[in-house]
Structure 1
Amino acid sequence: MDQRGTLITSDDTVSSTTVTRKRRVIQLECKVCGAAAYSSYVGVLTCAPCKMFFKRNAEIKQKPLKCDFGGNCEINIFNRHNCSYCRLKKCFASGMQTELFRPSRPIQKRTNRKKKEIVAPTTEKSNALVMLTSRNQPQLLPTLTLLRSDTSTLSIDQWGLLSNLIHCYDEHGGFLVAERFTSEQNGLPLKARYKYGSLNALYSSLMTGSQLLFEKNADFIALSSHDRSHLIYGRLKYLGGIGACFILSHVKLFDNPAFYSASEAVYGSPAMEAGKATCNLIDSDVVFVKLGLSILAFSTFDYTFYTNTETSNLENITAVLRIQDMYIELAWRYLVYKYGHSRAVISFSNLIRCIFSGNKSTVEAIERKQYTDMVDAMIKQAKQTLSLND
């Protein structure tokens, strides 16, 4: 009750003695990663993690940062930890300035003869971001210049191939689809959530995204029309399944009991159990996950089944295996370069287990008509996109 005797309540009715006041919360986004932000730091609206990151990395006399993938990494809430160089670069591009740092406390010098003197702190321009190429030298891919200062065993061609492969698969689109799906379902009554139509649309969208591994791959495009069609027909169901698991594991949807139960009712318990095991085996390194999917795209294994139709084989299996071997070597050298031999062995072991688990999930799910219809539609769309005919 205020000084005039007016009662402030939270009801929706308004009378001579009752006034309604509503506070409106506006969700603000961090200019660097897109996470929720509640305050401004050095002139830019940022979240707490990006604030601390900039304060820690933009100070003078810091070790210069480097980007392994050309200095053009996309920074968002999911991958902001992957590349410090591009994250700091985006901080500066968003308007964050080291000149706006609060001065540190004065440093006092103790002397025996003189009084304590206050030494004023000096502010210098940050040199945390450095150019990886010289202006006077020929323009090269920024990632390739890393070979001058690191101990990597990757060749220049392999650095270029690595950069191309990681841009073939767009995981951010899948993250947005899954997040939008979660938001929409949370807005529905409990009994109306996770129905077949919405589940099927989600899985179809996530699995369809895997066809980009073929569309943007120059090695795939160089193959004959027959072999391209054969790989799409045989590999897309595996790529779609493991790719969907990759997205779902990041947004934690498999940890949602209601979502898991609804998916189980559609695709069966064995398929979902194998799918959850696949999620648990997916590596935390997004780059290696993309390399693993590229390896799988050119694999030649398939589950065995009986059919009255004549099976077709690859026309040039040697070329396909050569591409797969090239990607395997690239993935191995990348892991050894970034984590060392022991971690590389563990990651490759988990990749093999993940592929076997994904295969089991596909074999179980293929018994369900809902799943086969979805896979057939995905294959048909991929062939139309790539202008391939049977």
Structure 2
Amino acid sequence: MSRNTNIVVVKMKEKLSFYTEEIKNSDALRITFALYKKFESNNTVNPSRSIKTKKPKILPHECQICGVPAEYSHFGAVSCHPCKMFFKRNANTEQAACTCHFDGQCEINLNNRHICPACRLAKCFKCGMSIDKIQASRQTKPKTNTLIKKKVQHQPETLSTLNLLKSDQSILTINQLTLLSNLFNCYKESQILPFTQRLTDTHIVSEFTCAMYEALVEEFLVSVYETAGAYLRSNDDLRHLSCHDRSIILRSAADNVCCMGGAFIMQHCHLYGLNSFLKAMNAKYGKHTMDIHIWAKKFIDPDVVLVKLSISLFAFSENTCCYYSNTLNNLTNSIDILKIQNKYAEVTWKYLLYKYGHYEAVKRFLNITLWLAAMNILIGHNRTLKVHVHDIDSIVEQTELTLILDDADEIIETNQ
């Protein structure tokens, strides 16, 4: 993905250059720009360190507001993250309070979307965004029975993927149910499954050469790394950390999510039982790496929900920082990390209690801690593999640059 990675970074740099004039007049933006320049000087994308791929990942939709590539629908319209946050902050503002100096005729696109809030907000409503569809997390704490009933009434919409939990509200709170649903959907293994199916189908076809099968394995690995990158960019807790702490946590989180997500997929799709797959992986990473994988797979729980919760829980784990010198000592606010860990651990424990009862919950929670220990061994070994380190570095660089640009977008919109 060397050429494609450079294209993405060039486009992001072009976008950031548009903010230069704004930065000159804002202390907050000067800080963001300084962080970006520091990131740029220390993390220049090297084509030799990039993940290989056959073609760039193309997002399936355009933001209906500003026209940039977008993947998800927010509040009733397909929109990018900056437009989503703009609507979330300004939806309750009276449109009459926003004045357009050009009689409401402004064209809204990537380059000028922050200039006229009135036209941008009007376009959000015109494209179908609705105040009613803003998630309950944006609302203030309910003070009347009417508001409580309204919040519960909307619950099935927010948690449609976890209907098994809605019958018992005594263990998990509504906020915890929402978090559980979000964490479940944050790691999208569905993007990897087509590649695992091709590996399985091709394994039984004798006319496929070793080189052809290795190419399929390479595509599978690219999808694992890309899915990990998408997880990091969509995790709100990571987004809301300070830029300094986020840059520290990001590297260990990327390593952890890649290794745990990859191990989960290989076990879930029975790839460890394919001789051709193991042979190709041995050729790429070495037999010792795969021996650790095969030993550690016995700790992977068959409950997919629990595995995904574990991935999120261990993404912020202090133990995974042990391979990076002075990491914890440099955090400006380690309490924030502890709060995230505690929040994820509590949701995981309550899910186990609900589904399995106390005895089985203790056994399974112990098992996922053993899985973490096994993954620490694997991650420590992987740090000696140049090919893996280069791929992790590429994910970190792209993710950090994306989040810095999103921060700049939000600062500009907040200061308007």
User: How far off its partner does 1:146 sit?
Assistant: 8.3
Q: Which amino acid aligns with 1:379?
A: V
User: How far off its partner does 1:340 sit?
Assistant: 0.6
For residues 174 and 267 of structure 2, the distance between their equivalents in structure 1, rounded to whole angstroms, comes to 33
- Tell me the SS of whatever aligns to 1:386: helix
Equivalent positions of 1:9-48 (< 5 A) are: none
1:140 aligns with 2:154: yes
The answer (yes or no) to whether the contact 2:239–2:403 under 8 Å persists in 1 is no
Q: Percent identity?
A: 32
User: How far off its partner does 1:388 sit?
Assistant: 6.7
- Select between 187-196 and 240-249 the one with higher mean Cα deviation: 187-196
Counterpart in the other structure of 1:318? 335
| Cα deviations by residue, 1:227-255 (Å, 9 ceiling, x for unpaired) | 22211112211210110111111111111
| Cα deviations by residue, 1:310-357 (Å, 9 ceiling, x for unpaired) | 997222110111110111011001101111111111111111111111
1:379 aligns with 2:396: yes
Counterpart in the other structure of 1:200? 218
Aligned residues: 252
- Select between 205-214 and 343-352 the one with higher mean Cα deviation: 205-214
For residues 320 and 364 of structure 2, the distance between their equivalents in structure 1, rounded to whole angstroms, comes to 23
Q: Which amino acid aligns with 1:360?
A: I
Change (3 A) 1:194 1:347: farther
The answer (yes or no) to whether the contact 1:288–1:331 under 8 Å persists in 2 is yes
User: How far off its partner does 1:304 sit?
Assistant: 4.7
The answer (yes or no) to whether the contact 2:195–2:220 under 8 Å persists in 1 is yes
- Tell me the SS of whatever aligns to 1:370: helix
The equivalent position to 2:378 in structure 1, one of 325, 343, 361, is 361
Counterpart in the other structure of 2:263? 245
Equivalent positions of 1:89-238 (< 5 A) are: 138=150, 139-142=153-156, 143=159, 149-150=167-168, 152-184=170-202, 189-193=207-211, 196-238=214-256
> RMSD of the alignment, in Å?
2.9
For residues 207 and 292 of structure 2, the distance between their equivalents in structure 1, rounded to whole angstroms, comes to 30
The equivalent position to 1:298 in structure 2, one of 296, 309, 316, is 316
Counterpart in the other structure of 1:28? none
Counterpart in the other structure of 2:296? 278
User: How far off its partner does 1:384 sit?
Assistant: 3.2
| Cα deviations by residue, 1:21-40 (Å, 9 ceiling, x for unpaired) | xxxxxxxxxxxxxxxxxxxx
Q: Which amino acid aligns with 1:167?
A: N
Q: Which amino acid aligns with 1:302?
A: T
User: How far off its partner does 1:271 sit?
Assistant: 1.4
Q: Which amino acid aligns with 1:226?
A: H
| Cα deviations by residue, 1:61-99 (Å, 9 ceiling, x for unpaired) | xxxxxxxxxxxxxxxxxxxxxxxxxxxxxxxxxxxxxxx
Query: Which protein, 1 or 2, shows the higher relative CO under an 8 Å CA cutoff with sep ≥ 6?
Result: 2
The answer (yes or no) to whether the contact 1:242–1:278 under 8 Å persists in 2 is no
For residues 253 and 175 of structure 1, the distance between their equivalents in structure 2, rounded to whole angstroms, comes to 11
The answer (yes or no) to whether the contact 1:281–1:354 under 8 Å persists in 2 is yes
Counterpart in the other structure of 2:360? 343
For residues 366 and 189 of structure 1, the distance between their equivalents in structure 2, rounded to whole angstroms, comes to 36
User: How far off its partner does 1:180 sit?
Assistant: 3.0
Change (3 A) 1:329 1:261: same
User: How far off its partner does 1:197 sit?
Assistant: 4.5
TM-score between both structures, scaled by the size of structure 2: 0.55
- Tell me the SS of whatever aligns to 1:154: coil
Structure 1 unaligned spans of 5+: 1-136
Q: Which amino acid aligns with 2:194?
A: L
- Tell me the SS of whatever aligns to 1:302: helix
For residues 310 and 339 of structure 1, the distance between their equivalents in structure 2, rounded to whole angstroms, comes to 37
For residues 248 and 148 of structure 1, the distance between their equivalents in structure 2, rounded to whole angstroms, comes to 31
Change (3 A) 1:322 1:305: closer
| Cα deviations by residue, 1:152-175 (Å, 9 ceiling, x for unpaired) | 411222112112221211121121
Change (3 A) 1:147 1:210: closer
| Cα deviations by residue, 1:185-238 (Å, 9 ceiling, x for unpaired) | 655735435655443332232132123332222222211112222111122112
Q: Which amino acid aligns with 1:140?
A: H
1:255 aligns with 2:273: yes
Q: Which amino acid aligns with 1:344?
A: A
| Cα deviations by residue, 1:98-147 (Å, 9 ceiling, x for unpaired) | xxxxxxxxxxxxxxxxxxxxxxxxxxxxxxxxxxxxxxx63321259988
User: How far off its partner does 1:181 sit?
Assistant: 3.9
For residues 285 and 256 of structure 1, the distance between their equivalents in structure 2, rounded to whole angstroms, comes to 22
User: How far off its partner does 1:279 sit?
Assistant: 2.5
The answer (yes or no) to whether the contact 1:229–1:388 under 8 Å persists in 2 is no
Q: Which amino acid aligns with 2:386?
A: K
Change (3 A) 1:194 1:204: same
Q: Which amino acid aligns with 1:165?
A: L
Between structures 1 and 2, the one with greater helix share: 2
TM-score between both structures, scaled by the size of structure 1: 0.58
